[in-house]
């Protein structure tokens, strides 16, 4: 079911999400379905459970729509439950990021260029996987949500000051989106 996406300023986006209880498979499967439906409607490339008001360590990333610019993403779709970062590269890369919870704002963010992750997939199987390239960027962006961190927290102080008024407007719901939003 399509859910509203919580906007910048919502408390749920600032909380560290607890691990999902893997024994609650039906509830988790429903949550994953809601994330998929909501992401599809919002036309984004990733969504974390806190963005739909559910404080659990569950994200989805879908790079398939970006495969024209990033051919390596032609089949890149992941459901990631209870992720644990095992390794991250010391080498960093910078790229402009945006977010469904912070519509209309983009900024360059520096992140590790490679990470190794342990997580459970949508079949509740444990997976260890290494991510690099733009897929790595998408995964890290969504994982940040699980710790209450938004991409705007990771920008330079001068950039943060420059986007301050826009962030204030988002937190007041003064945005236009093609998807349902909520502030709480």
CA distance 15 to 5: 16
Question: How many of the other CB atoms lie within 10 Å of CB of 134?
Answer: 18
User: Is residue 142 among the annotated active site residues?
Assistant: yes
CA distance 184 to 176: 17
Which entry of 72, 88, 130, 142 is annotated as an active-site residue? 142
Q: Which of 31, 15, 42 is nearest to 146 (CA)?
A: 15
Tell me the torsion sign for CA atoms 119, 93, 77, 143.
Answer: positive
Those residues with Cβ within 8 angstroms of residue 159's Cβ, 6 or more apart along the chain or in another chain = 107, 108
Give the residue numbers marked as catalytic. Answer: 142
């Amino acid at each position: 079911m399509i859910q509203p996406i919580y906007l910048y300023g919502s408390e749920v986006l600032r909380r560290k999400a607890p691990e999902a209880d893997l024994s609650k498979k039906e509830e988790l499967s429903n949550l994953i379905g809601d994330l998929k439906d909501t992401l599809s409607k919002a036309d984004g490339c990733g969504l974390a459970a806190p963005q739909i008001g559910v404080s659990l360590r569950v994200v989805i990333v879908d790079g398939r729509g970006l495969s024209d610019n990033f051919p390596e993403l032609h089949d890149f779709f992941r459901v990631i439950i209870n992720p644990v970062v095992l390794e991250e590269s010391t080498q960093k890369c910078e790229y402009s990021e945006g977010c469904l919870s912070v519509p209309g704002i983009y900024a360059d963010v520096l992140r590790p260029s490679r990470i190794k992750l342990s997580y459970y997939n949508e079949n509740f199987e444990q997976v260890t996987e290494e991510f690099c390239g733009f897929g790595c960027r998408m995964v890290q962006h969504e994982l940040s949500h699980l710790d209450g961190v938004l991409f705007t927290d990771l920008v330079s102080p001068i950039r943060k000051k420059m986007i301050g008024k826009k962030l204030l407007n988002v937190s007041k719901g003064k945005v236009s989106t093609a998807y349902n939003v909520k502030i709480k």
